[in-house]
Amino acid sequence: MSKVTVIGAGNVGATCANVLAHKDIVKEVVLLDIVGNLAKGKALDSWQQAPIDYYSTHLVGTDDYAATADSDIVVITAGVPRKPGMSRDDLISTNAKIVNSVTESIMKHSSNPIIIVVSNPLDVMTYASWKSSGLDSSRVMGMAGILDTARYRAFLAEALNVSPKDIQAVLMGGHGDTMVPLPRYTTVSGIPLTELLDSETIEKIVNRTRVGGGELVQLMGTSAWYAPGAAAAQMVETILKDEHRIFPCCVRLSGEYGLDNIFLGVPVKLGKNGIEQIIELSLNEQEMKLLKESAEHVAAVRDVFDNMSL
Ligand code: APR
């Protein structure tokens, strides 16, 4: 049984730790926050849920990195969330410092963890964590694609009046309004989506997906946590169980899709070693154009990060 640390005991981190505990696949979940009592309180509350919901995963809350020693996987959710009117990119100056210092602290206590980044702007924060960790790029990834496809799948399920369980989809690109949902690679129990929905409805859903995070920020005054927390927990589960499931994740590309030295969402196979394979889909001209535009946007934010003196 394994040890997983979640950094940041706010909305997303606490949800991720709680969902993970419910899966009952981890010996211990350490929840760490700069606000120590917040992490302690949420971990204790989650642990007190164990006798009710029947899991054995022990939860520990702390503000001390020593408690994270020898973690197999670390999920980074530390940082500030968006407020209405902000883009994810607006968070860079605050979150870059946080993600850098968190990664350095993690690496002092765990020699070869797998890191899953959730903090925004996601693609660039994943790059930042990879750089300061010194880990192989197969061990540092960002959670965005599972969330973005979940939003897309939920909207489609509603439009089709079918169970969201039956919708399979892939989506690529950065975690922002330039993301590239792929209707051509979307099926409903194996039936191509394009057989079931007209192109105008699909287009509306694609556009709603692109700004799906912003819709929630408008509704709640802060960004979402149930689906993001559960999505990060699903990545942890797949890795720990060595399931070899295929999900869109933010990973470092070295030539795939003609892109180099950039962290971007693409379909990958996840297993016990982290990213076991990057899957290269054949994209048509329009899909490739959208992916390149998304990559250019992420590269511009990455350059802002590279020019920051941290
Ligand atoms: N070390 C540890 N924890 C930190 C640090 C740090 N250096 N800096 C901030 N935190 C903690 C805060 O104390 C807070 O409890 O991170 C937590 C963030 O929680 P929320 O404010 O509730 O934000 P949340 O909605 O969880 O989003 C966190 O994930 O989805 C992204 O855009 C979102 O970047 C944001 C991140």
Render pLDDT for 228-237 as a digit per residue (tens, 0 to 9): 999 999 999 9
Question: Each residue of 16-42: pLDDT tens digit?
Answer: 999 999 999 999 999 999 998 999 999
Instruction: Establish whether the linkage from the previous residue to 181 is cis, with ω within 30° of 0.
Output: no
Q: Is 33 in the pocket of ligand 1 (CB under 6 A)?
A: yes
Distance, CA of 159 to CA of 141 (rounded, Å): 32
Q: Is 102 in the pocket of ligand 1 (CB under 6 A)?
A: yes
**What would be the CATH architecture of the domain defined by 145-308?**
Alpha-Beta Complex (3.90)
Instruction: Return the residue whose CA atom lies nearest to atom 35 of ligand 1.
Output: 81
Name the burial class of residue 138, with classes exposed (0-12), middle (13-18) and buried (19+) by CB atoms within 10 angstroms of its CB: middle
Q: Is 244 known to be catalytic?
A: no
Question: Each residue of 113-133: pLDDT tens digit?
Answer: 999 999 999 999 999 999 999
How far does residue 79's CA lie from ligand 1's centre (Å)?
4
Atom of ligand 1 nearest to the CA of 118: 29
Mean pLDDT confidence for 235-250 = 98
Domain with CATH 3.40.50.720 in the chain: 3-142
Q: What is the pLDDT of residue 310?
A: 77
Q: Is 25 in the pocket of ligand 1 (CB under 6 A)?
A: no
CATH 3.40.50.720 for the 3-142 domain, yes or no: yes
Domain with CATH 3.90.110.10 in the chain: 145-308
Distance, CA of 171 to CA of 7 (rounded, Å): 27
Distance, CA of 121 to CA of 177 (rounded, Å): 12
How far does residue 118's CA lie from ligand 1's centre (Å)?
9
